[in-house]
Amino acid sequence: AAVRQLSDAQRKRLDITQQARADDVERVKAAYAALGVAAEVSPFFTDMAARMAAAHLVMSRSGASTVSEIAVIGRPALLVPYPHALDHDQAANAAA
């Protein structure tokens, strides 16, 4: 929904890498294509560390390992806690 709010010129500047469930990959690719956004969507990436290091912004769940990796590479991030995590630990990680 947020990408849809951008102007055409802003969307053309995006190059998105998104991990999605295998069942959702084609639907997500089609949504980006309809908006004119360059996007690589896959259920798994073997080179995620390199992709995150090359990113200008990381949007991710806020598991402890992921938050640590993002901090080490020094990238700005929007962290989205997994709402069903036990003890709401991801919410605490995102708030820290």
90, part of any domain? no
57, part of any domain? yes
70 pLDDT more than 80: yes
56 and 33 in a single domain? The answer is no
- Find the domain containing 65 and state its range: 47-82
DSSP secondary structure code for residue 87 in this structure: G
12 and 34 in a single domain? The answer is yes
Cβ-defined contacts of 64-69 (< 8 Å, 24+): 64/89, 64/93, 67/93, 67/94, 67/96
Q: What are 8-67's pLDDT values in tens digits?
A: 999 999 999 999 999 999 999 999 999 999 999 999 999 999 999 999 999 999 999 999
Cβ atoms within 10 Å of 8's Cβ, excluding its own: 8
